[in-house]
Amino acid sequence: MSEHFQLAEIFNSHMVLQRDAAVKVWGSGPNKSRVTLTISQQLHSTIISHNKWCITLEPLCLGPSLEMKVTCGDETIIITDILIGDVYLGSGQSNMAMPLRETDNGDLDLHSINLPEVRLCDMVVKPYEGSTAYISPDDIIGWEIKTSDLKWQPCSWPHIHNFSSIGYHFASHLYEAYKIPIGIVNCSFGGRPICTWIREDYFKEDDELLAYYKDFEQRLKEVDPLAYMKAFGEYLVNICHYISKQTTIWPTEPFGPFDTNTPSVLYHAMLECIVPFHFKAVLWYQGESDELISHLYAQLFKILIKNWREVFENPTLPFFYVQLPNFNTQTNPHDPYLWGKQRLAQEQVTRTVPHTYMVVTTDIGEKEDIHPKDKRPVATRLGNLVQKYLYNENIAAESPRLQDAKLIGSYIHLFFQGDGLPLAKSDNPTYINVVDDLGKNHLLLAEVDDRQILLDCTAISMPLKVHYCLESACEARIFGCNALPVAPFYKIL
């Protein structure tokens, strides 16, 4: 049976295509049929093979809106109002998904927004491959429930109210700077670990990650299938009750084959739908759900980056990501450093993987709320980093980071690198943790001196380690001259 001729879902009117790039357009259709595509002055043609087709466009430049016409036999698809500009992918969990209407001054922003050259594309969360998307009749229940899927919309009321706050503020930041079309696709799912966004075969590249993957597989094999299907059916009914407002409690998901914490599930159910769309960069805000496996997080993030760069066919695809903020996590009250260890794992990536850039947020979290309400500073810091590295702007966009730590005489010298040097001297006394050979913590006064910090260890017989902002609910007290907080650090002397 021949497949119906169609474009991939992400191609529709009001979209933005990446400028100056060999963009791929793809879809499906009857095997061995010819597809013809026209856009601007370009004419392309290909033969459908195995019910799939793909055409690579010649690079397009900034200019007036365009029309794309795609024909197969007697069927023609026309999409209009296509802008050429810069396109970004926003992904991660709830802090990336958090809609503008839920954030500080969100309601005030909503009705005044009108940026017709900024285009938004939201993706409905799909809990498992082939699932029926959760769609709300009024589009305002929850953060992941939408009324449309992969539809491009101009950035104005009412299209903006359920869109990612970080995504909107980031796009508007770039638009105000350059006045060129900006497109942003939001592909996020709250509360889900990083493993869900990675294709299965990539776990085989690391022995620890393969063991982690196989452990999940083994747990699935031990699930009673009949009991699970009964529980899963009740779960779906309760979701419908939530959407229809018969309850205000989002149901607890049962563990089993359709579990949305399963490795690779969101890669197939969501990300794969937009592969290999051409993006200028990825914005990533995730890690809260992996706080208990910080020892694996850096490697998981590295293989995710490798996976995405390969499937999007861009070996240097830039990743701009958000380090976890200050938060009083209750997951393990006996470990005050739970999120601190996760922050260190996140920072390993930007130190070791090219074209990755990290935003430090230890000064703008909310200690008692895992979802900080003011997303504008996060988006601004992401935007500034993007301007520095993708638009070659001379912007001091990076937080100072520890470069080295040395014990010289009775003083520890902490040396820093980054845009925010020299370090700003604080009016308030600031203390840094030094751990001695017996494992005892000492709080030592930080003496800020240009590009370094001095710690007087005269009273400590044998200092072994130094760390700063390692506590989950830390308080950022050291800043660069660019007003950005110094990145958390841990160093063995």
d(C-alpha 230, C-alpha 234), whole Å = 6
Is the pLDDT at 129 greater than 80? The verdict is: no
Is the pLDDT at 152 greater than 90? The verdict is: yes
Is the pLDDT at 372 greater than 70? The verdict is: yes
Tokens of 20: 């100056």
d(C-alpha 486, C-alpha 493), whole Å = 19
Cβ-in-10-Å burial (0-12, 13-18, 19+) of 335 comes to middle
DSSP string, 116-178: EEEEEEE----SSTTPPPPB-SSS-SSSS-BS-SS-EEEEETTTTTTSBHHHHHHHHHHHHHH
Q: Give residue 1's pLDDT.
A: 37
Average pLDDT over residues 109-130: 85
Domain boundaries along the sequence of the chain: 84-199+264-397, 204-260, 401-492
- Interacting residues of 311 by C-beta distance below 8 A, sequence separation 6+: 199, 272, 275, 276
Instruction: Calculate the dihedral angle through the C-alpha atoms of 24, 27, 29, 33, rounding to the nearest 10 degrees.
Output: -10
Rg over CA atoms, the chain: 24
Q: Give residue 126's pLDDT.
A: 83
Q: Give residue 142's pLDDT.
A: 64
Q: Give residue 324's pLDDT.
A: 98
**pLDDT tens digits, 44-98:** 999 999 999 999 999 999 999 999 999 999 999 999 999 999 999 999 999 999 9
Tokens of 416: 């820093």
Is the pLDDT at 378 greater than 60? The verdict is: yes
Nearest to 282 by CA among 14, 62, 92, 59: 92
**pLDDT tens digits, 228-269:** 999 999 988 998 888 788 888 888 999 999 898 999 999 999
Q: Give residue 34's pLDDT.
A: 97
DSSP string, 55-101: EEPPP--S-S-EEEEEEETTEEEEEEEEEEEEEEEEEESHHHH-BGG
Q: Give residue 427's pLDDT.
A: 81
**pLDDT tens digits, 218-228:** 999 999 999 99
Average pLDDT over residues 28-39: 97
Of the two residues 4 and 345, the one the predictor is more confident about is 345
Is the pLDDT at 338 greater than 80? The verdict is: yes
Nearest to 187 by CA among 128, 116, 281, 266: 266
Average pLDDT over residues 412-419: 94
Across all residues in the chain, what is the average pLDDT?
93
Which contacts (CB < 8 Å, 24+ apart) does range 73-77 have? 73/5, 73/30, 73/33, 75/5, 77/5, 77/6, 77/7
Is the pLDDT at 288 greater than 90? The verdict is: yes
Q: Give residue 241's pLDDT.
A: 87
pTM above 0.85, yes or no: yes
Q: Are 158 and 295 in contact (CB under 8 A)?
A: no
Q: Give residue 127's pLDDT.
A: 78
Q: Are 277 and 26 in contact (CB under 8 A)?
A: no
For domain 84-199+264-397, the CATH superfamily is SGNH hydrolase (3.40.50.1110)
Measured in Å, how far apart are the chain's first and last C-alpha atoms? 68
Q: CB 442: neighbour CB atoms within 10 A?
A: 16
Q: Give residue 111's pLDDT.
A: 78
Q: Give residue 472's pLDDT.
A: 95
